[in-house]
Amino acid sequence: MTPRDRAYVGGEWIATDRRFAVTDPATGEHLADVSDADAALTRQAVDAAADAWPAWRAKTAHERAGVVRRLRALHAEREDELARLLTREQGKPLAEARGEIRYAASFYEFFAEEALRPHGETIPSPFPGHRLLTFRQPIGVGAAITPWNFPSAMIARKLAPALAAGCTFVLKPSELTPLSALALAALCEEAGVPKGVVNVVPTSEAAPVGEVLTGDARVRALSFTGSTAVGKRLYRACADTVKKVSLELGGNAPFLVFDDADLDAAADGLMVAKLRNGGQTCVAANRILVQRSVHDAFVERVAARLRGVRVGPGLEEGVALGPLVNRPSFDKVAGHVDDARAKGATLHLGGSAHELGRTFYAPTLLTGVTTEMRMANEETFGPALGVMAFDTEEEAIALANDTPAGLAAYFYARDVGRVFRVAEALEVGMVGVGTGLVSTAVAPFGGVKESGLGREGSRHGMEEWTEVKYVCLGP
């Protein structure tokens, strides 16, 4: 697939004088020079989305569903090309990239169906002769700002419900992975999305583009996935125009292993929860809490699995762990490991750069991690696992909840009373019990506390893009 390298605004591919480079994290190879949108081009994109809105919202839900369904079909048809492009700009193993394209497609599938069901209500009236009704209406122009770790799926879970609901859309993808976003724009064109309904403004300077999207009163909703620090800034910036804000921010997921757990299943689950996308997911297991009586047996099982992980460029057959996305990400992982060792953690495996160099970091296992260490308090976002021991269920829950983040949590236990107690006590938006993978288009994804606002996926995902209107009909 020849990468698209221009902004997509009002149905036109727009070249700018200024461009920025996109590189392959596994090889350092230059992939493309992409148009660099500024505030003026972003305003044009909002103009286009605002102009396109009346006609798009006036289409029947069935017509919109048809367009979204075609996006799903195109993802299936082009899966291989899209996955290769994704691996090249982002680094994840090709099998995972294919999985991501299928995951993205599942949002188009789900919301094409959901387009047909944002039902209103009729409410029994307390006033004689009146009729009380509600409608669900599209909110208007929506803006999305998305990260690099899932360059395709993080857009799909915003765009699919937005289109289904009848909104128009301006997207600012991550500067590290604009090519997947522009490939999607090309698919939108092919799927028959009318001009101006979807606009993509890649940029190397996020702040001025972000200021237009948060400051323009015509943009009625902002959906952001990314760091907590940037999310808070955007939330504040949306206050002046009181936008509907949906935020998927950082996590600090605890992964708890109780003494009644199946330790092999737990170790397998941890590999998925920790190593998917090289640990670069907001739902990655970040604090591994293990009951003392099974600690050593569990650590042994994890070490054995980590030793078998093949590291390499994502396009190479059989690779399970790719490079980190860039040097700052590498430095963060190395910093967490060094900090933990300096504060007394025990190293079992890895602990340094992988022999492949660049941004490849060796799978790493530490025990004796404490709450004073950086890895217990910040997302490591890499293949370094730090284990803490606990004695009682109460202590485990207190440790798990001892963070401002509240996105995902995982635990392994078999006692049914404990399963319910712990699932209810964890302060998070999503809990995996006996599994290391919870994400699916049909279930609500999102966090509590400082991990965010709103839910994506499932029927709740439509609510971010619609408003309830109440109509009171007099006698």
We find the least distance from the C-beta atom of residue 439 to ligand ADP, in angstroms, to be: 17
Q: Cβ contacts of residue 258 below 8 Å, gap of 6+?
A: 291, 294, 393, 396, 411, 412, 413, 415, 418, 422
Measured from the CB atom, the residue of 72 and 276 that comes closer to ligand ADP is 276
Measured from the CB atom, the residue of 166 and 406 that comes closer to ligand ADP is 406
We find the least distance from the C-beta atom of residue 213 to ligand ADP, in angstroms, to be: 7
We find the least distance from the C-beta atom of residue 226 to ligand ADP, in angstroms, to be: 3
We find the least distance from the C-beta atom of residue 331 to ligand ADP, in angstroms, to be: 13
Q: Which residues of 340-376 are buried (b: 16+ CB within 10 A; e: fewer)?
A: beeeebeebbbbeebeeebbbbbbbbbbbbeeebbbb
Q: How far is CA 327 from the centre of its chain?
A: 21
Q: Which of 89, 96, 109, 248 is catalytic?
A: 248
DSSP state of 450: G
Answer yes or no: 188 catalytic.
no
Cα angle value 274/277/283 (rounded, 5°): 50
Q: Which of 282, 456, 463, 464 is catalytic?
A: 282
We find the least distance from the C-beta atom of residue 148 to ligand ADP, in angstroms, to be: 6
Q: For ligand ADP, which residue has the nearest CB? A: 210
Answer yes or no: 282 catalytic.
yes
CA distances from 46 to 68, 144, 182 (A): 21, 12, 17
We find the least distance from the C-beta atom of residue 223 to ligand ADP, in angstroms, to be: 11
Q: How far is CA 130 from the centre of its chain?
A: 45
We find the least distance from the C-beta atom of residue 381 to ligand ADP, in angstroms, to be: 8
Q: What are phi and psi of 222, to 5 degrees?
A: -125, 125
Measured from the CB atom, the residue of 72 and 243 that comes closer to ligand ADP is 243
Measured from the CB atom, the residue of 118 and 151 that comes closer to ligand ADP is 151
By CB neighbour count within 10 A (0-12 exposed, 13-18 middle, 19+ buried), where does 449 fall? middle
Measured from the CB atom, the residue of 157 and 172 that comes closer to ligand ADP is 172
Measured from the CB atom, the residue of 97 and 433 that comes closer to ligand ADP is 97
Measured from the CB atom, the residue of 361 and 411 that comes closer to ligand ADP is 361
**Looking at the DSSP assignment, which residues form a beta bridge with residue 214?**
none
Contact 67, 163 (CB under 8 A): yes
CA distances from 21 to 15, 88, 385, 407 (A): 14, 13, 33, 33
Q: Cβ contacts of residue 440 below 8 Å, gap of 6+?
A: 106, 457
Contact 256, 412 (CB under 8 A): yes
Q: DSSP of 142-206, one letter per residue? A: EEEE--SSSTTHHHHHHHHHHHHHT-EEEEE--TT-HHHHHHHHHHHHHHTPPTTTEEE---S-H
Measured from the CB atom, the residue of 112 and 212 that comes closer to ligand ADP is 212
Strands of 341-455 (E only): list them.
346-349, 364-367, 384-390, 408-412, 430-433, 452-453
From the list 275, 266, 270, the residue with the least C-alpha distance to 294 is: 266
Q: Cβ contacts of residue 102 below 8 Å, gap of 6+?
A: 75, 76, 79
We find the least distance from the C-beta atom of residue 304 to ligand ADP, in angstroms, to be: 31
Q: Please report, as ranges, the residues that interact with ligand ADP according to CB under 6 A.
A: 145-147, 172, 174-175, 206-207, 210, 226-227, 230, 233
Q: Round to whole Å and give the CA distance between 276 and 253.
A: 14
| Catalytic center residues | 248, 282
